[in-house]
Structure 1
Amino acid sequence: MKKYVYLALFIAIDIAWACSKSDTDLPDLVDDPEEITINDVLESDPEDFVENATFTSTVTIKYSGNNATVSSLPTGVSVSCNGADVTITSSIDQVEYILSGTSPDGMFKLYSDKKFKLTLNTVNLTNPDGPAINIQSGKRAYVVLPDNTTNTLTDGTSYTSSGSEDMKACFFSEGQLVFSGTGSLNITANYKHGICSDDYVRIRAGVTLSIQQAVKDGIHANDYVLIDGGTLHINASGDGIECEKGCIEINGGEITINSTDDGIVASCEDNDYTISPFIKINGGNLTITTSGQKGMAIKSESNTTINGGDLRLAVSGEASKGIKSGGHVVITGGTLDITTTGNAFYESNDISSAAGIKCDGSFKITNPGTTLTVTSSGSAGKGINCDGTLTIENCTVNVTTTGKPYIYGRLDASAKGIKSDGNLTIKGSNVTVKTTGGENSEGIESKATLTIESGTIEVIAYDDCINAANAIVINGGMIYCYSSNNDGIDSNGTLTITGGTVIASGTTMPEEGFDCDQNTFTITGGIIIGTGGSTSTPTTKTCTQHSLVYGTSGTEGQIINIQSPDGTSILTYQLPRSYTQLTFLFSSPSLAANTTYTVSTGGSVAGGTEFHGLHTNATYTGGSSVTTFTTNSMVTSVGSTSGGGGRPNGPGSFGGD
């Protein structure tokens, strides 16, 4: 007896014939990103291996034109032939059926209450009025494709009914279908699905399967689909691979899917079923292309786990998604390249947008070598969008969105690079985000708290580069933010920086390099450089590291140099753009108390290393001294500055609370 085991978050559930969990449990939003662990398990049944079974009887069916010859019938097996339409009825176990030959008007049909072996030994069947192969048996069928064989199945555009029998695919079975061997099978499905089981489908390594056309789904199963390997090419007008009431797991193989609807989907079509259909990808090379409105390359009603593999997902329909999950998405390995080109559209008093990844639960991507690249060009398209927490840890993430805002009446939506409704955490990762589509096109956004622990984060955005509703906390990392029309870093609550190198460039007045309104802005460590028409001023009573707020002007590429009394450069920085009114924020552990520093501009720099205009261990020469300042307070203001959301500050004044 086969089993699934679904190990949910904190709860193990073992249910035969289904991956079960109540729909009311979804989505399960996780507050602690460390708790986003998914252990969806689809047990491998050794009885699926044909080499573990024994077959004592062999029945051969040879097709030739409009006729078929059946030989070697053992006791307990009967046959009925109508031209090349062959119907077998068996009451015995351990029987192998071998099909060969060609017929333009033939089929194979089997009634049996025992498991059996079906060997396709270079057979070419076309059935104009029904399935080419029709297995009316609820038992396991071992479908074997011998080495160096090419087999072809084609059904009709309509089926002649046979009582209440279910038959909805070119290759149909009431029971389990397990494909093995190193031969190939080509299927053209003109009625509905290419391959369908009202139980499960398993494809073992070595199989070559080509569903050249399917009016509906390429592979359709009821309980689950398990792909161990092989080569699969699927062209479907519906879904590429769908599990109607269960789970899909892919462990390897070369899989190419072109579909109008979804590529790979674990759905929940029976509302009376309490299930949790997950998708798990452990390896393989997958290329999935979808073109329909709201078409999803990978779609799960519950959780989606990717532990490895090379995935290339391209979706072009309106509001289409590369990965759509009703629960959590966890990526622990592999390379993912997702492209979305579909525009947003209005639907049911809301705007639906395309997204590289959309999950109703939480999202976590982790582990060295794991790479995710998302490119979105449709209006209001999102890179990564989740309703729960979002965690990027020890991996590489690249997101580019270029879509313009979408407006319908009073409703509007804009492109976003990375967005979460819950807390967002980045640790030890290389993250690049570019959003150039227009108003409200933000780079990285959290509707709660955004925390950066470490890594290299580079964001170029039309609107805010990094934004959070409650708080932004930066504890380390190399961070660069350049906004072409708004703030570099914008917190609607508090802003805390304890370490790292943080460069934030906002545009002209009233936009800011660092913006936290009049909320607490704490600096206790790190190198901080902010440029904009204005800035939020660090809060003196919470800071332990000195800062400079410098009001001046500057041109793109101009160097600002700050030297200590002994002539040591503690800052050499080139402006990323021109400002007629520049509010320059600088903080560094090198700024000592009660010390006078010299500010120079112009000149040149040579040697050392450079990170977006910040030169380290470089030689600065030829500049002109423009001012000095003395760090008599935790925050020193020089020149005419603007702070705290556009509030002008005179020389020596301070913002914050």
Structure 2
Amino acid sequence: MKDLLMGSKVGLVLLCAVLMSACSTTSTTTTAVEDTATISTVQSGTDSGAELELASINISDLVTFDEEDSTKEWSTDNSTAIELSGNNATISGAGAEAVDGSVKITAAGTYVLSGTLDDGQIVVNVQDKGTVQLVLNGVNLHDSDSAPIYIVEAGKVVMTLQEGTENVVTDGETYVYEDASTDEPNAAIFSKADLTINGTGKLSVTANYNNGITSKDDLKIMGGTIEIQAADDGMMGKDMVAIQDGEITITASGDGIKATNDEDATKGFIAITAGSFDIQADNDGIQAETALLIDGGTYNLVTGGGNANGEVKTESMGQGPGGRGGFEPGSEVDPTATTIEPSTETTTETSTETESTSAKGLKAGGDMTVNNGTFKIDSADDAIHGNSNVAINGGDIGITSGDDGIHADALVSIAAGSIDISKSYEGIEGANITISDGEIHIVASDDGVNVAGGNDGSSVNGCQGQNEFSTSENNLLTINGGYITVDATGDGLDANGSVTMSGGTVIVNGPTNSGNGTLDYDGSFELTGGTLVAAGSSGMSQGPSDESSQYSVVMNFTETQQAGTMVQLEDSEGNNVVTFAPSKDYQTVVISSPDLVTGGSYTLYSGGTSTGSVVDGLYTDGEYEGGTEIVTFDISSSVTWLNESGVTTGNTNQGPGGGMRGTGGMGGTKPEGGKGE
């Protein structure tokens, strides 16, 4: 029975083909899979108000776990017993024979192994393609120069870890092959057939030569406690890895878990339903050549030695329309220069990438979907990385990264879940980003949320050679809901394109240098709902666009305000609109709230205290007192720019290199003086 319900679904899990806006301007695209129902609908195009979303998909859409995969039962009446002792084997039953210190199984059936094999192999070679059940009933298998378990041929092998037993498989540091053209087997447990591991016992694999467990076809894990130490990859299935449950611990000098088929788009995927995973890998933690789908489980992933081993980077800014660059103090970027070299902030990954260049937590060569699960990812490279699309529909995700927290070459879609990116270079990056719900906290040494064209050098729908920070009118950051906090050294929300916000709460702290802005966009920022509070440097500050239907206030102070200095915006009746204490020094504050109305009169205060409840610097309820009145003004347009003298027409603290950009109003017009009416 073939495991895929419809093989062609795999390569189209989240359908990247219409998402790369640099390659397509189609306004609406719906893709069906042969005769099956449509599994993904994507809206894209040049309209900055268009939404980009990914449909959810479940493991049952991709993988069938059949009855044989779950079969753990056996009896002495219908099985062959293999008793191992040193280099000898006592066999009771048919289908197996002892040969030169090894055991060869040549017929379908159930084989129960126990005892110790000092230096030999369990070889399965069933030419009629029948199913073999190998019951590991307390074995210690060792082969000094080859794979202790070698499955040459069978329809399927089901390896059952007998309840209450501990089973050990160990190989040597070198393998001996028949000739120089042979390189298999290359794992302590090696199978050329579909391999399923089930049961509730324990399996310990020490792979001194290369991989721990390898299947050249499908690899399924149904349960059990599996511990692997591997000189290269821990666990590999060429066509797919499907995990229904289990307690898995891997220490690997290569990748932790991987699927490798790069010749068939319907294969090379990983699908995980549940389980416990503790993986320490020098390269990627869990890596699928095509799609990666996770429905649940608990994950502790450390890759490349963790975030402390990430590549040391300095901010380098791409230059899009509007000619606005940015710089970090002490960097080599000249803020007064008229041209800025394209960004090289991310090491290019191409189809010839070697494993040593990638130390990502979760990685998909195609699409990735996370529907649920608990994750603690400490990665030297990106924590979550998709060469096409990444969809997060739930889960509790904690990230410390030496590079990006979440990266997709095409679309990042977040619909639910809790995401805490406590360290990253860039928090969330994609050619397009849609946030519909969820609680997201980001700390980034560069941009917090970055919408950028292009990719990491990989190919998406045939688009090659794009600069990662190229700008396109189709690049879009869409915020429909959720709760988002950003602490950024670079830009807070950075769109090399446009931004739309219709709901949710967004709180931005930083940057503190004038080469970056809390908001940074090239096209427009249309704000129609939600709460936005952003504080940071003023040299490059932008506000939402004039076409926004919800009103915004942008205050530029003459002097830098100390971190923790409260900002209070209240209406003429004394009702609090926003009370906020930025966590970093700031000179600009952007406030947008549904409570702001045209014709209303408002007063902005600085300093003081509040008795309200505070979360992420934003106060609710309570009384505000002790502040200094800065400016009183009326709202008559969608964006009201302020300084201490009153209403202005734009950013009066504009720093070097800042030109008019988009419709957000980065003008340099001086205020006329006096309070607004």
8 Å contact kept, 1:600–1:623:
yes
Instruction: Provide Cα deviations, 1:25-72, integer angstroms capped at 9, x if missing partner.
Output: 876637444443335422222234556888866655544445444556
8 Å contact kept, 1:58–1:97:
yes
Q: Go from structure 1 to structure 2 and tell me whether the alpha carbon gap of 1:101 and 1:560 turns closer, same or farther (over 3 Å shift).
A: closer
Q: Go from structure 1 to structure 2 and tell me whether the alpha carbon gap of 1:355 and 1:559 turns closer, same or farther (over 3 Å shift).
A: closer
Question: Which residue is 1:42 aligned to?
Answer: 63
8 Å contact kept, 1:28–1:361:
no
Could you tell me how far 1:290 is from its partner in structure 2?
Answer: 0.9
Question: Which residue is 1:400 aligned to?
Answer: 422
Question: Which residue is 2:225 aligned to?
Answer: 231
The correspondence for 2:386, drawn from 359, 362, 367, is 359
The amino acid of 2:369's aligned partner reads: V
Identical residues among aligned pairs (%) = 28
1:613 and 1:492 map into 2 onto residues whose CA distance is 28
Moved more, 461-470 or 142-151: 142-151
Could you tell me how far 1:612 is from its partner in structure 2?
Answer: 5.2
Q: CA RMSD in A?
A: 3.8
2:103 and 2:589 map into 1 onto residues whose CA distance is 84
Counterpart check, 1:249 vs 2:242: yes
Instruction: Provide Cα deviations, 1:397-444, integer angstroms capped at 9, x if missing partner.
Output: 111335xxxxxxxxxxxx31100112x1112211111112xxxx1000
Q: Go from structure 1 to structure 2 and tell me whether the alpha carbon gap of 1:493 and 1:222 turns closer, same or farther (over 3 Å shift).
A: same
8 Å contact kept, 2:431–2:476:
no
2:573 and 2:111 map into 1 onto residues whose CA distance is 92
1:612 and 1:118 map into 2 onto residues whose CA distance is 55
The amino acid of 1:511's aligned partner reads: M
Instruction: Provide Cα deviations, 1:134-186, integer angstroms capped at 9, x if missing partner.
Output: 555424445455444444444455556679998945xxxxxxxxxxxxxxxxx
Question: Which residue is 1:521 aligned to?
Answer: 546
Taking the TM superposition and a 5 Å limit, the aligned residue runs for 1:24-43 are: 29=19, 31-32=42-43, 33-39=52-58, 40-43=61-64
Taking the TM superposition and a 5 Å limit, the aligned residue runs for 1:37-436 are: 37-39=56-58, 40-48=61-69, 50=71, 59-70=80-91, 79=97, 81-82=99-100, 84-87=101-104, 96-109=110-123, 112=126, 113=128, 115-156=131-172, 168-169=184-185, 192-244=186-238, 246-268=239-261, 271=263, 275-291=266-282, 295-316=283-304, 318-341=357-380, 354-367=381-394, 370-377=395-402, 381-402=403-424, 415-422=425-432, 424-436=433-445
8 Å contact kept, 2:199–2:223:
yes
Q: Go from structure 1 to structure 2 and tell me whether the alpha carbon gap of 1:301 and 1:62 turns closer, same or farther (over 3 Å shift).
A: closer
1:154 and 1:162 map into 2 onto residues whose CA distance is 21
Question: Which residue is 1:547 aligned to?
Answer: none
Could you tell me how far 1:620 is from its partner in structure 2?
Answer: 3.5
The correspondence for 1:497, drawn from 527, 538, 547, is 527
Instruction: Provide Cα deviations, 1:455-486, integer angstroms capped at 9, x if missing partner.
Output: 21110101110011221122222211112222
Moved more, 449-458 or 620-629: 620-629
Q: Go from structure 1 to structure 2 and tell me whether the alpha carbon gap of 1:323 and 1:153 turns closer, same or farther (over 3 Å shift).
A: closer
1:247 and 1:395 map into 2 onto residues whose CA distance is 27
8 Å contact kept, 2:246–2:275:
yes
**Partner SS state of residue 4, structure 1:** coil
Larger Rg: 1
Taking the TM superposition and a 5 Å limit, the aligned residue runs for 1:481-492 are: 481-483=508-510, 484-485=512-513, 486-492=516-522
8 Å contact kept, 2:233–2:254:
yes
Provide TM-score, normalisation by structure 1. Answer: 0.73
Ranges in structure 1 where 5+ consecutive residues have no aligned partner: 13-18, 170-191, 342-353, 403-414, 534-550
Ranges in structure 2 where 5+ consecutive residues have no aligned partner: 20-40, 44-51, 306-356, 453-474, 652-664
Q: Go from structure 1 to structure 2 and tell me whether the alpha carbon gap of 1:161 and 1:376 turns closer, same or farther (over 3 Å shift).
A: closer
8 Å contact kept, 1:115–1:139:
yes
The correspondence for 1:511, drawn from 540, 544, 548, is 540
Instruction: Provide Cα deviations, 1:520-567, integer angstroms capped at 9, x if missing partner.
Output: 4334336x454546xxxxxxxxxxxxxxxxx78755555555665555
Instruction: Provide Cα deviations, 1:484-529, integer angstroms capped at 9, x if missing partner.
Output: 2221111211112222221111214x232x357xxx4334336x45
1:571 and 1:108 map into 2 onto residues whose CA distance is 70
1:22 and 1:628 map into 2 onto residues whose CA distance is 55
Could you tell me how far 1:356 is from its partner in structure 2?
Answer: 0.8
1:35 and 1:71 map into 2 onto residues whose CA distance is 56
**Partner SS state of residue 68, structure 2:** helix
Moved more, 585-594 or 323-332: 585-594
**Partner SS state of residue 205, structure 2:** strand
Q: Go from structure 1 to structure 2 and tell me whether the alpha carbon gap of 1:139 and 1:482 turns closer, same or farther (over 3 Å shift).
A: closer
Instruction: Provide Cα deviations, 1:78-134, integer angstroms capped at 9, x if missing partner.
Output: 85654x4455666xx65x545444453454546544545544454444444544445
The amino acid of 1:524's aligned partner reads: S
8 Å contact kept, 2:536–2:588:
no
Greater strand share, 1 or 2? 1
2:592 and 2:132 map into 1 onto residues whose CA distance is 75
8 Å contact kept, 1:98–1:121:
yes
Could you tell me how far 1:220 is from its partner in structure 2?
Answer: 0.5
1:116 and 1:594 map into 2 onto residues whose CA distance is 79
The count of residues paired between Structure 1 and Structure 2 equals 548
8 Å contact kept, 1:247–1:277:
yes
Question: Which residue is 1:460 aligned to?
Answer: 487
1:612 and 1:232 map into 2 onto residues whose CA distance is 41
Q: Go from structure 1 to structure 2 and tell me whether the alpha carbon gap of 1:240 and 1:79 turns closer, same or farther (over 3 Å shift).
A: closer
Question: Which residue is 2:624 aligned to?
Answer: 620
Q: Go from structure 1 to structure 2 and tell me whether the alpha carbon gap of 1:97 and 1:480 turns closer, same or farther (over 3 Å shift).
A: closer
Provide TM-score, normalisation by structure 2. Answer: 0.71
**Partner SS state of residue 226, structure 2:** strand
Counterpart check, 1:645 vs 2:674: no
Instruction: Provide Cα deviations, 1:226-275, integer angstroms capped at 9, x if missing partner.
Output: 1111111011111111112x111111111111111111111126x4x564
**Partner SS state of residue 537, structure 2:** coil
8 Å contact kept, 1:268–1:275:
no
8 Å contact kept, 2:153–2:192:
no
The amino acid of 1:426's aligned partner reads: I
The correspondence for 1:445, drawn from 450, 455, 458, is 450
Question: Which residue is 1:469 aligned to?
Answer: 496
1:588 and 1:104 map into 2 onto residues whose CA distance is 73
1:384 and 1:144 map into 2 onto residues whose CA distance is 37
Instruction: Provide Cα deviations, 1:563-603, integer angstroms capped at 9, x if missing partner.
Output: 65555555655566667xx566556565565566555555x
2:123 and 2:177 map into 1 onto residues whose CA distance is 14
Q: Go from structure 1 to structure 2 and tell me whether the alpha carbon gap of 1:239 and 1:651 turns closer, same or farther (over 3 Å shift).
A: same
Instruction: Provide Cα deviations, 1:325-346, integer angstroms capped at 9, x if missing partner.
Output: 12111111111121113xxxxx
**Partner SS state of residue 258, structure 1:** strand
2:145 and 2:592 map into 1 onto residues whose CA distance is 78
1:239 and 1:560 map into 2 onto residues whose CA distance is 53
8 Å contact kept, 1:502–1:529:
no
2:245 and 2:213 map into 1 onto residues whose CA distance is 17
The amino acid of 1:240's aligned partner reads: G
The amino acid of 2:540's aligned partner reads: E
